[in-house]
Amino acid sequence: AQSVTQPDIHITVSEGASLELRCNYSYGATPYLFWYVQSPGQGLQLLLKYFSGDTLVQGIKGFEAEFKRSQSSFNLRKPSVHWSDAAEYFCAVVSYGGSQGNLIFGKGTKLSVKP
């Protein structure tokens, strides 16, 4: 079965420091991958997506992610974190078990930003 793993439950970085959030997936073929961000008590906002083509994808708010098939990874990065980036981040993959392409989410990584 497909799955998404986010190994880090909670990460704290200093404002201005670089960030990398890890995501690993399990799927035999090329997956459709997403990163979403959730602020407390809010819904999810799409940061970026990968379907095919260039393995380095750019998203909103200065985020990027790199798809590495050999490592089954889709890590999210940002060169300089801002205090407003503090939130919960979810990696997700389109499920091919269901017929309508619902999303399978990782358990999320909570990002805290130190001043």
Partner 1 sequence: GAVVSQHPSRVICKSGTSVKIECRSLDFQATTMFWYRQFPKQSLMLMATSNEGSKATYEQGVEKDKFLINHASLTLSTLTVTSAHPEDSSFYICSARHPGQVNQPQHFGDGTRLSIL
Question: What are the residues binding partner 1 (CB under 8 A)?
Answer: 32, 34, 36, 41-46, 49, 51, 90, 94, 98, 100-103, 105-108
Min dist CB 14 to partner 1, Å, is: 24
Q: What is the Cα–Cα distance from 105 to 61, expressed in whole angstroms?
A: 21
Give the residue with the Cβ less far from partner 1, 28 or 101.
101
The smaller minimum CB distance to partner 1, of residues 34 and 74, is found at 34
Other C-beta atoms within 10 Å of 33: how many? 22
For residue 56, the cross-strand partners are 66
The nearest distance, CB 92 to partner 1, in angstroms, is 8
In angstroms, rounded to a whole number, what is the distance separating the alpha carbons of residues 57 and 49? 7
Nearer to partner 1, 14 or 69 (CB): 69
- By beta-carbon proximity to partner 1, the closer residue of 69 and 79 is 69
* Site of tokens 């083509």: 53
In angstroms, what is the C-alpha Rg of the chain? 14
Name the one residue in this structure whose structure tokens are 């990163």: 35
Minimum distance between the CB of residue 87 and partner 1, rounded to whole angstroms? Answer: 14
